[in-house]
Structure 1
Amino acid sequence: MAYSPISEELKYGPLKNRRCTDVLICLVFTAFLICFFSVGIAGFAQGNPDLILYPHDSSGNLCGRPDTVTSSYKYIYYPTPTDDTDYKVCVKSCPTDSSDVKCHPNTWVTSCSFEIRNSDNSTSKVDPYVSDEYLKRYCMPDKSAADDLDEDFNKVIDAVYEDSLRGWASDIYRCWTAILIVLALAIGFSVLYLVLLRYCIGLMIWLVILACIGLLILFAAYMDYEADNTYSGDNHEKTRKALRICAIFGYIMIGVFIFLLLFMIRRINLAIAVMKSGAIFMKDVWWIIIVPIIVFLAGFAFYIYWVLALVYIYSSGKLEDKDSYEKFSHMSWNDSTRNSFLFEFIGVLWINSFKIALSQFVIASAVCFWYFSDSRLSLTHHILSRSAYNAFRYHLGSLAFGSLLLAIIKFIKWYFIFLKEKVHKEGLDKNCCVKFLCGCVGCYVACFERFIKYIDKHAYIQVALSGDNFCKAAKNAFEITLENAARFAALGSIGDIFTFIGKFFITTLSSYFGFLIITHCSIYSDHIQSPIPATLVFIIVSYSVSGLFVGVYEMSCDTIIQVFLVDEKIHKGSPQFAPEPLKDFMHEHRNKEHKPCCGFF
């Protein structure tokens, strides 16, 4: 296979004389954003959230909605909570006895003495029960009134009146200083983990490899021991044979593992050097961590807007005042409103994918500038602004292109999940062929999504380095990956292992120390009901911080290996700008053959 030549313009770093790439996709994305926000603004102008915020009675009247006949009847009351909760009526206040009920009768609850109309048009009367206000909207039976209710509804009432949620919120509020301590601990442990990766990653990797070999040896030896001792009798012949087969399989796996290890030693050492270099980058350009933070905050603000826009668009329909007995009043939409809602709902997939693409590009671009810098210690914060400038000035179209591909596959995945649920509800998945087909399609879609994510990420690295359009960058990235498959496989597998270890290490230690603080310090333990809610917050906070650091570190390693391979190829096997760990790696292996005899690894 012929690979594309690498431009000599990259000899001294990322391309300086750039041009706009994927302009057509950029225009499409710009038009999409204009339409997306225009639809949301139109929804804000036409929508009325009151239609979904106010509770409905059995006839569709909105309880407490201003400028309506029910404006003074703010609460919803269920006359028959044990039999049918679809009977609902708007009341001025929650009834405390049978003589003080002010309500707005409707088609199905015809009077304030709670005469109800049945589905066969007959009427019956029910006695009111003592109730309390809940969530400033609902009248629920109080504890004394609930004694006569059936078992199932009593469970609901107990859940409603359970004060645990309020207690949990109170516990979390009282532990807010401990949450800040855990946040600081998570940051500290993240930095410590990066230091360990910088100086001890080689030892850690080889210990993991030796542990895997040791476990395989123990497994095979144990199977042999059990076959020769525990199941040595004639009446255990089948079991003994099965154990022998397991032992033989274990020995074969040991042989294959060691055989592959002998051919992969150089690639493993390269992965170690790359991971050490990634840790150095995080130390030199520590402010890179603000990139995902800014993207996260911007994304959070966007999601608030998006949810509000969906609410307003949904409420821009017309509430049908039906004289029929149904659980909910219906919102009728015209085709324009329905399409607007679907457009906003689906369009967020593209924007979310673009948000990820932008973050990956800026990090990759910063790594490229760092790698080719003559004096890495003198780097300034300008490399982030230069990276962001390149993204918005030249490569917005390329990022939009890659994110569009990912958004399309995500839409296909979610649509398939919807179809799968529909098939399940219809009972069609009981058919073996249908079940097998659903499983296969789901597997193919998931694999293709992972493939697109991988191609996208490495294409963004190439765009940051060479300034090419998305398709050419993706092609070059794919060729580099294919040409150095074993190197990427070693880095990918080792990186995944230590990404998991890092997140687990940071999250567990930070959360555990937080738990010790709130259970052993009287300023916390004397004022909280349970350590569980605060500990859950500790886990969420520490996991988020670990994901932030480890995610940036992972992207930096992926970028470093690509840039290193380009540097190596341009300079005929002698990379000129490699960080110290990679230089040590090249010096150690300079006199060794570039490839093993088989030529594959």
Structure 2
Amino acid sequence: MGSKDKDNEEIELHKNGTPRKHDKNFKGPIENRSCTDIICCLIFLVFIFGLLAVSILGFVWGNPNRLLHPTDSSGLICGYDAEVKDRPYLVYFDISKCAQMGPSAVALGCPTPQVCRKSCTTEYYVYLETVSKASIGLLQQADIDKMVCKDSITITESTSEEEIQKYVGDNDCAAYYVETTDIVGRCIPSIFKTILETAKDAITYTAVNTDGSNITYNLTNTDNTLISGSVISQGTGFLALFYSASQEAEMVFKDVVSAWHLIVIFLVIAMVACFVWIVIMRWITGFMVWFSIFAVLGVMGFGCYYSYSQYYDLKNSNSTSEFGIAQAFALNFSYYLTLKETWLAFGCTTATFLIIFLLILIFLCHRICIAIKLIEEGSKAIGNMIFTLFWPIIPFLLQIIMIAYMAVAAVFVASMGGREYYRNDTSSQIGSDLLSDLPCNENDTTFGEFCGFVKYGGDQYIIPLEVFLLFMFFWLMNFIIALGQMTLAGAFASYYWAVNKPKDIPTMPVLSSFYRSIRYHLGSLAFGSLIIAIIKMIRVLLEYIDAKLKNSENPVAKFLIKCMKCCFWCLEKFIKFLNRNAYIMIAVYGRSFCPAAKDAFFLIFRNVVRAMVLDKVTDYVLFISKLVVTAGVGVGAYFWFQGKVDFFTDYLPKLNYYLVPVIVVIMGTYVIAATFFNVYTMAVDTLFLCFLEDLEVNNGKDRPYRMGKGLQKLLSKKNKKYEEPEEENRA
């Protein structure tokens, strides 16, 4: 019977992993270690060289001005190229053509001739006005100046009406234009201000005739089709929305630039606030947690008491209000409060939650105390290794550099494409209208069509290169995060395993841990971050498929995509959790990624309840901490930039939106708080794994505990003096 129990115990240990054996020479992170996951390191380096090659290709062949500035039908960049240096605005010949492209007009451009101009058009015009004057030989320079033509076309006062009609018919001159507004260099019709209000059908305008009388013209295109307000609206809606957003973004950017020095000051204040808060957390953590727990209990208890009081009051008053279907669909909340059934439901619900919460508190009280002690121990560890608070600045700067580099590389690669031309069927009716909007070869004259330049792009290699850049962005960002986590894990592990704290802590624990990480474990870091990068790419692909299926009528496909998105979101969270703990084991014991991940998983699995309680308590404490710091700095920034602080009003810059720097400060403060408190999270996670190892490996006698006296007291543990047997002494 005893043999059978022993076998079952061994099987159970095998299933849940085997605790590490005691090593009397172990005093913290192992110094004598070797390189891990070398193959992953080599693959990572190959991809780095690939990234550099793609970036260099973009820097050599790309031109970001193609994306930042409008381009005319000749491929000239308005306001940038020498030929059009003094003409920064782009005018569309037939804006109604954009309607045929729909939302894709933003990405693909409008298949209509476009020219660079010194200014946008400020009035209505139709070519019939010029034709009528040319027909009687009264064409003047003022009439010529009204026309919008390509640079290759020259019109003089002697130009005949037939020539003008030919120019318009060949799309060398615009048949019409309307009043336009400059939006990011593009002349977009002021449709929402004027046309929709005054011309829902055909658009008309009044001009002065040759005899001095007024004459009314209808706007028409080259086919003499009337141009209505709805056509212009359809043609410019997406463009106006996109370019208006771009213009607003430009104004927001200017506000950030104007207030950058004040933003930096507030972010420095946020850093100081985070530092002070972490220092005092060793004294306030217990109060925060227990106060919150009893506050929740008090609120639930009061809610239960109040609900039952209301129920009995309504019951004793013989209330005649009854629940009905009509009232239910009316969603009349005040009516519900007159029903005794409502208060009975409230009372039962709050009582149920109160009982569950009390039971959880009773059974987990001891583990909550352990979690609080570990959080306080994390604060002590940070206090003894102050440089750990400043270490996140290095990964943060690396991430900023990486984001900037990848953004610049992506812009250059995106601007590598050649010129794209679209058919503009003006001299032939061969083919459908849809065919005329398809790309064509600029030298193709098969159908007698004019191929007009629309935009730069279309290179078949650009999209794969951009996908590669996105993948490398995910990989490198997670690699930097992993490097920061492993470095901190090694530092905090050296604190925990020190026999006499803080005397036995290494002189430079953070730098030593950083050296070990980059000297021995680049492959393991690359391995863990590669897994996250692959999952993120799959999630991006699922988002793309989901967007494509948005207008689909296949509910099964939509449901499957939603399920897959949810599953991969959960998978990413789990892998990040596993990676973080694997990095801790690597930092301490110098093992490869997979064995370290396995050891970490089974160690946590053997102590799953403790891990869950610690995780939730830590999350709560750090959430409150982030909230306090972010809210405090954000409120200060709000009053400052709104001009409520009279003493400093002279230092306020001129802003378009005063909330812009406030939002930037709030976002920056949250990022800084998250960065600082991530150090705290890493400290607690590292100390927790070390604490579990300590409990499993040591016994307080011949194998003394390394945990602090506070944890020993809480667990009723104590290191006792131990004398070796005489046989061992003689040996």
Q: Tell me if 1:17 matches 2:32.
A: yes
Is the 1:61–1:321 contact (alpha carbons within 8 Å) kept by the matching residues of 2? no
609, 618, 638: which is aligned to 1:515? 638
Question: Hey, what does 2:176 align to over in structure 1?
Answer: 126
The residue type equivalent to 1:105 in the other structure is: K
Alignment of 1:25-424 (within 5 A): 25-58=40-73, 62-63=77-78, 66=81, 74-78=88-92, 86=110, 87=112, 89-94=114-119, 100=145, 105=150, 125-126=175-176, 137-139=185-187, 148-150=194-196, 178-230=262-314, 233=318, 235-236=320-321, 239-241=339-341, 243-324=343-424, 328-329=454-455, 331-335=457-461, 337-373=462-498, 374-376=500-502, 382-424=508-550
Selected match of 2:670 from 543, 557, 572: 543
Q: Which amino acid aligns with 1:45?
A: V
What RMSD in Å do the two structures reach over aligned CA positions?
4.0
Q: Decide whether aligned partners of structure 1 residues 81 and 209 sit closer, same or farther in structure 2, where only a CA change above 3 A counts.
A: same
Q: Conserved in 1, the CA contact under 8 Å of 2:368 and 2:613?
A: yes
Structure 2 residue 686 is the aligned partner of structure 1 residue 563: no
The range that moved more, 179-188 or 440-449, is 179-188
Shift of 1:138: 4.0
**Contact persistence 1:73–1:90 (CA under 8 A):** no
Aligned pair in 2 of structure 1 residues 289, 440: CA closer, same or farther (>3 Å)?
same
- Higher fraction of helix: 1
In the alignment, the residues of structure 2 paired with residue 545 and residue 440 of structure 1 have an alpha-carbon distance, to the nearest angstrom, of 34
| Superposition deviation, residue 273 in structure 1 | 0.6
Return 5+ residue gaps in structure 2 as ranges.
1-11, 100-109, 122-141, 198-232, 324-338, 425-435, 438-452, 721-731
Residue 285 of structure 1 aligns with an amino acid whose one-letter code is M
> Match of 1:448, as an amino acid?
L
Corresponding residue of 1:495 = 618
SS of the equivalent of 1:307 reads helix
Superimposed CA distance per residue, residues 195-253 of structure 1 (whole angstroms, 9 cap, x where no aligned partner): 34201211221111112222222232233223222365364466544543442343233
Query: Mean alpha-carbon deviation: is it higher for 487-496 or for 184-193?
Result: 184-193
Residue type of the partner of 2:372? Answer: I
Deviation at 1:453, TM superposition (A): 0.8
Alpha-carbon distance between aligned partners in 2 of 1:174 and 1:91, rounded to the nearest angstrom: 31
CA contact (8 A) 1:350 1:404 kept: yes
Q: Please tell me whether residue 578 in structure 1 is matched to residue 702 in structure 2.
A: no
Cα gap change, 1:479 to 1:240, in 2 (>3 Å): same
User: SS where residue 332 of structure 1 aligns?
Assistant: coil
Tell me how far 1:417 sits from its aligned partner.
1.4
Write the letter of the residue equivalent to 1:187. Answer: M
User: Cα gap change, 1:89/1:583 in structure 2, threshold over 3 Å: closer, same or farther?
Assistant: same
> Does the aligned pair in 2 maintain the 1:59–1:329 contact within 8 Å?
no
Matched residue, 1:455: 578
After superposition, the C-alpha distances for 1:166-214 in whole angstroms (9 at most, x for unaligned) are: 8866765665554344234323332332234201211221111112222
> Structure 1 residue 314: deviation in Å?
2.5
User: CA-to-partner distance for each residue in 1:403-441, whole Å, 9 max, x for gaps?
Assistant: 11111111121211111111113343xx3x444433322
The structure 2 residue matched to 1:480, chosen from 587, 600, 603, is 603
* Contact preservation (8 Å) 1:95, 1:101: no
Residue identity matched to 1:546: A
Moved more, 94-103 or 539-548: 94-103
Structure 1 contact 11–570 (Cα < 8 Å) conserved: no
Measure, in 2, the Cα distance between the counterparts of 1:587 and 1:44. Answer: 65
Q: With the length of structure 2 as denominator, give the TM-score of the two structures.
A: 0.70
Question: d(CA) in 1 for partners of 2:547 and 2:281?
Answer: 44
Aligned partner letter, 1:462: M
CA separation in 2, counterparts of 1:416 and 1:163? 31
93-102 or 348-357, larger mean C-alpha shift: 93-102
Distance 1:471 1:66, change over 3 A: same
How far 1:305 moved relative to its partner?
A: 1.9
| TM superposition shift of 1:376 | 2.1
Alignment CA distance shift 1:167-1:477 (3 Å): closer
CA spacing shift, 1:447–1:590, aligned 2, 3 Å: farther
User: What 5-or-longer segments of structure 1 have no aligned partner?
Assistant: 592-601
Deviation (angstroms), 1:493: 0.7
Whether contact under 8 Å (2:699, 2:705) holds in the other structure is no
Please tell me the residue identity of whatever aligns with 2:114.
Answer: V
Asked whether the 8 Å contact 1:273–1:582 carries over to 2, the reply is: yes
Maintained 8 Å contact 2:51/2:472: yes
Q: Deviations over 1:522-548 (max 9, x none)?
A: 354355566423322321232122112
What CA distance in whole angstroms lies between the structure 2 residues aligned with 1:440 and 1:190?
39
Structure 2: distance between partners of 1:446 and 1:37: 30
- Amino acid in structure 2 at the alignment position of 1:356: I
Partners of 2:575 and 2:246 in 1: how far apart?
47
Corresponding residue SS for 2:549: helix
Count of aligned positions: 580
Instruction: Name the CA shift for 1:7/1:316 in 2 (closer, same or farther; >3 Å).
Output: farther
**How far, CA to CA, are the matches of 1:163 and 1:35 in structure 2?**
36
Separation of aligned partners in 2, 1:322 and 1:70: 22
Residues 241 and 404 from structure 1, CA distance in 2 versus in 1: closer, same or farther, beyond 3 angstroms?
same
**Kept in 2: contact 1:91–1:101 (CA 8 A):** no
Tell me, what secondary structure is at the counterpart of 2:466? helix
Please state whether the residue corresponding to 2:26 is helix, strand or coil.
Answer: helix
Could you tell me which amino acid in structure 2 is paired with residue 44 of structure 1? F
TM-score (norm 1): 0.84
Question: Retained in 2: the 8 A contact 1:292–1:359?
Answer: yes
SS across alignment from 2:31: coil
Are residues 121 and 169 of structure 1, via their aligned partners in 2, closer, same or farther at CA, if it must alter by over 3 Å? Answer: closer
- Contact 1:89-1:103 within 8 A present in 2 as well: no
Percentage of matched positions with identical amino acids: 26
Taking structure 1 as reference, are residues 75 and 210 closer, same or farther at Cα in structure 2, changes over 3 Å only? Answer: same
CA distance in 2, matches of 1:172, 1:345: 27
* Maintained 8 Å contact 1:284/1:377: no
